[in-house]
């Protein structure tokens, strides 16, 4: 496998991003148990490998709370 260019995120980089997002959401009382690194996204199916973050699987109450927080932060 050829070396990964420095501009592409590593699993570690994406894991840190997930933890930062988890901490930021927790400040607003939002917990997403399904928030995780999507490891198959590193398999090369995307060009270049994207290192996606899975954010789905939350209920409507959590989704509405997350949307409200993001709107509030966006207004600043």
pTM: 0.69
Domain boundaries, the chain: 11-74
Closest CA to 13 of 74, 26, 5, 57: 5
Q: Between residues 4 and 15, which one has the greater pLDDT?
A: 15
* DSSP designation for 63: H
Q: What is the mean pLDDT of the chain?
A: 79
Residue keyed to tokens 């699987």: 57
Report the C-alpha gap between 62 and 31 in whole angstroms: 8
d(CA 38, CA 20): 16
> 25-46 pLDDT, tens per residue?
898 888 888 888 888 777 765 5
């Amino acid at each position: 496998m050829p070396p990964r260019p420095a501009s592409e995120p590593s699993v570690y980089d994406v894991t840190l991003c997930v933890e930062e997002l988890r901490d930021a959401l927790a400040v607003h009382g939002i917990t997403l148990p399904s928030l995780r690194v999507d490891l198959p996204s590193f398999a090369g199916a995307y060009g270049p490998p994207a290192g996606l973050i899975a954010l789905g699987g939350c209920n409507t109450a959590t989704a509405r709370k997350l949307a409200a927080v993001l709107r509030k932060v966006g207004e600043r």
